[in-house]
Amino acid sequence: VDIDVTRAMVACQKYNFKGGVICLYDKAKLYQQILQYQMDNKDNDEIVATCRKYGDEDPQLWIQALSYFSKLKSADGCRKEIQQILKYIDENDLLSPLLVIQTLSNNESTSLDLLKDYLIRKLRSEQTQIEKDQTEIRRFRQETGDIIKKIKTLETGPTLCQDPKCSACKMDLDLPCIHFFCEHSFHEHCAYAIESATSSEIIYECPLCSGDNRKWLDLINSQRPDKDIHETFHRELDKEQDKFGVVAEFLGRRLFDKE
């Protein structure tokens, strides 16, 4: 049955039919209007319930509710509601701690005790994140140091290939064979041969490492020709979360070598 929403709303408001008003707002997905209607009628018990019902679709409802309760003369009397709202805001990172404090500090009757549980949770969470970040920093530094040492060793010293078997077919190596800096060794016919783009020379690449190597080469070649490797490097650095990994990969592939 088609309903004239405007006329129905007027009738519901005229006869103070709260259920009808909320039903019409719900039908129109006007969730903030539902919350505002409950605030205007001081239906404090229903406000948090409305946030729980519609908050996933419209997280701003929680912030709207916090602002409402913070302005009540007896905010401490709504301790349970405020703490429920703060818990959701904290878990979903809807507001920074500073904005939460500023919102609640607008009311002189709000005590610090009202914020105690929220602040304790937030400080513990921040401390846990700091400890995780410090652990990651130490790990990245160690990995970067190890990679730099390995690169220097490859550049200045010999690489010993001690495996007597082909890394592909696992048969004993015999001449002609090819050894790579990655310490993999192959019969000549087991290694990948590709033609040089600048000469008629045949270049061999490690079959086991070629996929990873080509991933980075394709990445570089896919960039616009007027962009040099340094711009590619900074673009990847901005995009990837593992920034030390990007640095290590570019160094390891010798992508910054001067011609």
Same domain, 169 and 248: yes
Q: Which helix (H) or strand (E) holds 194?
A: strand 192-195
Same domain, 109 and 171: no
Same domain, 19 and 115: yes
Strands 185-187 and 202-205 come out as unpaired
CB-based contacts of 253: which residues, under 8 Å, 6+ apart?
A: 213, 216
Same domain, 165 and 118: no
Domain that holds residue 92: 5-124
| Final residue belonging to a domain, choices 124, 148, 172 | 124
| Final residue belonging to a domain, choices 76, 99, 124 | 124
Q: What is the pTM of this model?
A: 0.50
Domains identified in the chain, total number: 2
Q: Give the residues across from 177 on adjacent strands.
A: 187
Tens-digit pLDDT string for the chain (259 aa): 456 777 888 888 888 888 888 898 888 889 999 999 999 988 888 999 999 999 888 999 999 999 898 888 766 668 888 888 998 888 888 888 888 888 887 777 676 777 788 888 888 888 898 999 999 889 888 888 887 887 787 777 777 777 788 888 888 888 888 888 777 888 888 877 665 555 566 777 787 887 776 776 666 565 544 445 556 666 677 777 766 566 656 555 544 444 4
- DSSP structural state of residue 85: H
Residue 149 falls inside a structural domain: no
| Final residue belonging to a domain, choices 124, 146, 172 | 124
Same domain, 43 and 106: yes
Same domain, 180 and 248: yes
Same domain, 107 and 168: no
Same domain, 78 and 177: no
Same domain, 27 and 114: yes
